[in-house]
Amino acid sequence: MTPSPVSAISKTTCSCPEKTLEQAKTLKPDGLRGSYVYYDGLVNDSRLTIETVKDGVRHGGLALNYARVTGFRRNRGRIAGACVRDAFSGSECVICANHVVNATGISCDTVRKMDDPDSKPVVSHSKGTHLVFRKKDVPIDITLTFPSPIDGRALFLVNQPDCVLLGTTDEWDTGDPEHPVPGPADTEYLLKSVDGLMPGLCLTRDKILYAYSGYRPLISPKAGPTIRPR
C-alpha cells in the first residue's frame, strides 16, 4: 500500500542529511539536503488473499481452486451462473448464481468475450519488474522511495526480513499475461537507477538473487464507455 502524496506529507518529519545517511549509509551524499520519513503499511498479499477466501467460506461461501470458467449459464437471456472445468480431473460442472462478478484482473477482457465475443477490450496491461538482493549487498535499515535519476519515475527499495526488493518498472506490455518475464531492458533500467542513488553498492546482474515481473490491468486510453451491465 502506498499513501497518496498528500497523506504521506501530512504524516512526515524532515531529516537532515546526517540523519538520512545514518539510515541509508550508501546514499550518494552529493546534493543531499535531507529526506522525509513517513509510516506506511506492509501486507503479505498472498496471506491476505487466503484469509479473504477463508472468511468467505466461514460465511457460507464455496471456494473452488484450480477451477477455470469456460462459459456462462443463461436464464431468460440473463447470466445466471458459470460453466467450470476442474484443471486436474477435467470434469465440468455448472455453478448457478444470482449474481456473477468478473473480478479477474488482467483476464477481465477474456471473460467478457465469453459473454460477448464482439466486446471491445477495456484494459491494457502494465508490466512491473522487480529485482531481489541479499541484505548484505544492500545494507539499509529502512524502506526507501526515490525518483529514478534516469527519468524521475518513483522507485523503491523495500527492506524485507531476509532480502531487499528493488522495483518497479511500469511499462505497457502486450506479452502473455499468464507468463510475465523480466526483460533485459527492465533489469538494466533498475540497476542504473539504483546506481545513480547509491553508487557505492555496485549492484550488478550477478548480485541479483532473482527477478520477477507481474501485470496489472489499467483502463485502456482507447476503451471508452464500452462496459454495460448484463
In SS3 terms, 7-24 reads as HHHCCCEEECHHHHHHHC
In the sheet where 92-96 sits, what is the strand order? 67-75, 78-86, 92-96
- Contact between residue 187 and residue 130 where contact means Cβ atoms under 8 Å apart: no
Architecture of the domain whose range is 119-230: 2-Layer Sandwich (3.30)
Backbone φ and ψ of 74, nearest 5°: -120, 150
- CA-CA-CA-CA torsion sign (202, 205, 210, 216): positive
pLDDT (tens digit per residue) in 109-125: 999 999 999 999 999 99
* Sequence spans of domains, the chain: 61-101, 119-230
- Tens of pLDDT along 13-42? 667 888 888 878 788 888 888 888 877 777
Cell of 154: 518513483
What percent of the chain stands above pLDDT 90?
A: 57
pTM, to two decimals: 0.75
Which residue, 217, 182, 212, 214, is CA-closest to 107? 217
